[in-house]
Structure 1
Amino acid sequence: MTLRAEHSPSSAPARRRPIRLVLTMAFAVVAAGVVGFLVFLAQLPVNEVKPSRDADGIVVLTGGSSRVSDAMELLSVGYGKRLLISGVHPTNAASDIQRSLPDSQPLLGCCVDLDRSAVNTRSNAVETRRWVRQRGFQSLIVVTSNYHMPRAIVELSNAMPDVTLIPFPVVGDKWNDEPWWTSGAAMRLLLLEYAKYVAAEVRVRLDKLGLGTMVASDETSQARDLARRSAASTN
Structure 2
Amino acid sequence: MARVGSRRVRLARSLGRLLAVGLVAGLAWAGGLVWFANAIPRPPAEESADATRPTDAIVVLTGGSGRLGTGLDLLTAGRARKLFVSGVYEGLDVQELLRKSRQSPSDIECCITLGYSADSTIGNAYETADWLREQGFRSMRLVTANYHMKRSLLEFRMVIPDVEVVPHPVASPNVHLEDWWKWPGTASLLVTEYNKYLLTLLRYELEMLLES
Q: Which amino acid aligns with 1:79?
A: R
Which moved further from structure 2: 25-34 or 5-14?
5-14
Please give the residue correspondences for 1:1-235 in structure 2 after superposition, counting only pairs within 5 Å: 5-6=1-2, 12-47=8-43, 48-50=46-48, 51=51, 53-175=53-175, 179-210=179-210
Cα deviation 1:92-120 (Å, max 9, x = unaligned): 22232122222241344210000001110
Please say if residues 72 and 104 of structure 1, whose CA atoms lie closer than 8 Å, have aligned partners that are also in contact. no
Query: 3-state DSSP class of the match of 2:141?
Result: strand
Q: Which amino acid aligns with 1:66?
A: G
* CA–CA separation in structure 2 for the residues paired with 1:176 and 1:11: 52
Please say if residues 154 and 200 of structure 1, whose CA atoms lie closer than 8 Å, have aligned partners that are also in contact. yes
Question: Structure 1 pair 54/22, CA: closer, same or farther in 2 (3 Å)?
Answer: same
Query: 3-state DSSP class of the match of 1:144?
Result: strand
Alpha carbon RMSD of aligned pairs, Å? 2.1
Q: Which amino acid aligns with 1:40?
A: F
* CA–CA separation in structure 2 for the residues paired with 1:20 and 1:85: 52
% same residue = 33
* CA–CA separation in structure 1 for the residues paired with 2:125 and 2:87: 10
* CA–CA separation in structure 2 for the residues paired with 1:21 and 1:158: 37
Question: Structure 1 pair 176/12, CA: closer, same or farther in 2 (3 Å)?
Answer: closer
Question: Structure 1 pair 52/20, CA: closer, same or farther in 2 (3 Å)?
Answer: farther
* CA–CA separation in structure 2 for the residues paired with 1:170 and 1:204: 24
* CA–CA separation in structure 1 for the residues paired with 2:2 and 2:109: 88
Gaps of 5+ in 1: 212-235
Please say if residues 46 and 176 of structure 1, whose CA atoms lie closer than 8 Å, have aligned partners that are also in contact. no
* CA–CA separation in structure 1 for the residues paired with 2:2 and 2:77: 85
Output the TM-score relative to the length of structure 2: 0.89
Cα deviation 1:134-193 (Å, max 9, x = unaligned): 111111100000011011001011111011111000001233597432221111111111
Query: 3-state DSSP class of the match of 1:143?
Result: strand
Please say if residues 155 and 200 of structure 2, whose CA atoms lie closer than 8 Å, have aligned partners that are also in contact. yes
Output the TM-score relative to the length of structure 1: 0.81
Question: Structure 1 pair 142/177, CA: closer, same or farther in 2 (3 Å)?
Answer: closer
Please say if residues 61 and 144 of structure 2, whose CA atoms lie closer than 8 Å, have aligned partners that are also in contact. yes
* CA–CA separation in structure 2 for the residues paired with 1:107 and 1:32: 51
Query: 3-state DSSP class of the match of 1:147?
Result: helix
Count, aligned residues: 207
Question: Structure 1 pair 173/8, CA: closer, same or farther in 2 (3 Å)?
Answer: closer
Gaps of 5+ in 2: none
State the structure with more CA Rg.
1
